[in-house]
Amino acid sequence: MKRPSIVLWLNAVVLYTFLYAPIVVVIAYSFNSAKRGGPWRGFTTEWYATLFNSSEKLSAVTNTLILAVASTAISTVLGTLLGYGLSRFSFPGKKLFSWLMYIPVVVPDIVAAVAMLMFCSFVRNWTGLLELGLTTMIIAHVTFQIPLIAIIVRSRLAGMDPAIEEAAHDLGADAWQKFRYVTLPLMMPGVLAGSALAFTMSIDDFVISFFTAGPGATTLPILIYSSVKRGITPDINALATLIVLASIIGTITVTMLQRQGRDERKL
């Protein structure tokens, strides 16, 4: 391969600095002993300690995790079934269905958030159900996670030789055994990659959570947003650093799962 020119190098350096410098600053400041930002006053892990002693922040972490785990669990099951159904069965309206699946992906978050809020209050007026809180947040997150998982699972299935499933059938597997012992294991890397992505998106989400949250259901992004209004405290930097760390782990997991998928497809 050709070696890049100096201009290209410079371009890359500027670009990556622009992308990552803010994150590096946040991480660095999370270890700065100065109370109100400003100059470097020495290394400390005090802010991490503060973080873990703050019940408000810990409950936000708990809420975030409950929200992410619950919504990812639900959307993984539903999204996988949707992706499987769309790729392996034919039924009237299939085209419309697969097209509709992309709507939650392309609709701006703010629109989805407002729509979700209105939907919840509409249902509450008629039935008294769907009081704003963790439940409504979970439902809202599931709505944007399902298509992500379904799209990934479907593309994984599309790349699979249909003869493999036929072989299972031919060798005596009934419909359930075929799904359980052949189709499911083969689409598993897609399912895991999809749910890891969905999990990350849930942890990350502010707009939709903010609109569907009720009292006592504060998540990390909401907490950070409200504390930043009162000025950035160093423990927020520590919190942000932990979120970055979690995101990096998530991204690496997704990449590795997809790579494994590619290797298996090379048959």
Residues that bind other proteins (CB under 8 A): 161, 163-164, 166-174, 177-178, 181-182, 185-186, 263-267
E strand or H helix that includes residue 193: helix 184-204
**Residue 84 vs 211, nearer CB to other proteins:** 84
Give me the count of residues in the chain.
267
- For residue 171, the minimal CB distance to other proteins (Å) is 4
For residue 256, the minimal CB distance to other proteins (Å) is: 16
**Cβ of residue 263: shortest distance to other proteins, in angstroms?**
7
CB of 182 to other proteins, least distance (A): 6
Which CB atom, from 16 or from 181, has the smaller least distance to other proteins? 181
Q: What is the DSSP string of 202-266?
A: HHH--HHHHHH--TT---HHHHHHHHHHT---HHHHHHHHHHHHHHHHHHHHHHHHHHHHHHHH-
Q: Which is nearer to other proteins, 172 or 216 (CB)?
A: 172
Distance CA 198, CA 148 (A): 7
Closer to other proteins by Cβ: residue 143 or 258? 258
Q: At what angle do helices 234-265 and 46-53 cross, to 10 degrees?
A: 90
